Amino acid sequence: MGLRIGAIDVAVPVVLAPMAGITNPAYRRLCREQAEAGAPGVQPAGLFVCEMITSRGIVERIPKTFDMLRFDDADPVKSVQLYGVDPVVIATATAILCGELGIDHVDLNFGCPVPKVTRRGGGGVLPWKRDRLEAILRAAVKAAEPYGVAVTMKTRKGIDDAHLTYLDAGRIAEQAGVAAIALHGRTVAQAYGGDADWEAIAQLVDAVSIPVLGNGDIWEAANAVRMMAETGCAGVIVGRGCLGRPWLFRDLAARLKPAGAEQAPTLPTLGEVTAMVRRHGELLARTHGERHGLTDLRKHMAWYFKGFGLGGELRHALGMVSSFAELDDLFVRLDPETPFPVGEVGSPRGRQGSPRERVTVPYGWLESQVLDGAVDLADAESDVSGG
């Protein structure tokens, strides 16, 4: 049941979605360790993508951007998601990633729904301009080709229900030489609210011959199995579903590895969750030092302990931890045999919210699907996280 992306054979067809402030080297390793536990001896047991970075940040060699391009030496595939709106800048950045940094896989982001990105014609609204999308994809593929690096893309259904782009984007991607396309089954207007449209994923599978990865509402391993069965997609992308639950990759690998699952995954006890939290902290401390690493860990605490009856005082203390001594003192107060709260199984995690009435786009953006020069995208990368 593996996934082939260019020259890369991914034994477990699962991808960790890039998430700003989350998918740093520590979290990627934690998720990869869990995947490898679910599929012992299988490599690679998924793709674990770094936080989205900007093409201009690479080209201008901004230190903050390069600081995000750190990888665990044990990771068999170094995967980067790149954001940009200019074909020349994208191509230059891709060449630097492949030629200088030894990146194995470049994914292009055309799915970001954040208003500061869409108002400048980037992210999830860019595929509306079919000529610009094609130019970017062809430029990236050409730049990566000498290094044998696969280029993929991620997108959404469209801007809103009246301005759908995913089928056109899929055909353009295939013709441009893109190795695979990922579809988040929501529009930009939906952001992270409502239900993901898996039928759209199935339609894209039927429309193209390159692999399609499905994204949206993968909260448990069973969701991934069902998505693949219902849509025919070649693999799944997991984002919010793994927040505070890196063991989801263990369960996914066990279900989707070549030989299939020998037994149903078990829910972790509170003691097993605390062990996972400590491991996460240790990995963060290796890169950032104890104090800064555990400060970064704080934002994960609410996700890890969601549904457990810890009490407000203890939850607050976990959210302020700054040393392993403090962390261990707090964990001693917990009953390690406490079962996982079954009410949390299959429940949404992370950002949700309501659909937007209107997506912010550049003036006149929707009047044509061709970028005729009336819209200036020169500054569309200047206010995006990652450089």
Distance CA 129, CA 165 (A): 9
Distance CA 229, CA 223 (A): 10
Distance CA 334, CA 336 (A): 6
- Catalytic pick from 31, 50, 98, 112? 112
From the list 236, 232, 224, the residue with the least C-alpha distance to 206 is 232
From the list 53, 61, 47, the residue with the least C-alpha distance to 15 is 47
First-to-last CA distance in the chain?
Answer: 37
DSSP annotation of 93 reads H
The CA-atom distances, in angstroms, between 196 and each of 96, 118, 214, 362 are: 35, 20, 10, 26
Token couple for 142: 């050409």
- Rounded to 10 deg, the angle between the 270-288 and 290-304 helix axes is 150
| 112 is annotated as an active-site residue | yes
DSSP 287-340: HH-HHHHHHHHHHHHHHHTTTS---HHHHHHHTT--SHHHHHHHHTTS-TTPPP
| Catalytically active residues, by annotation | 112
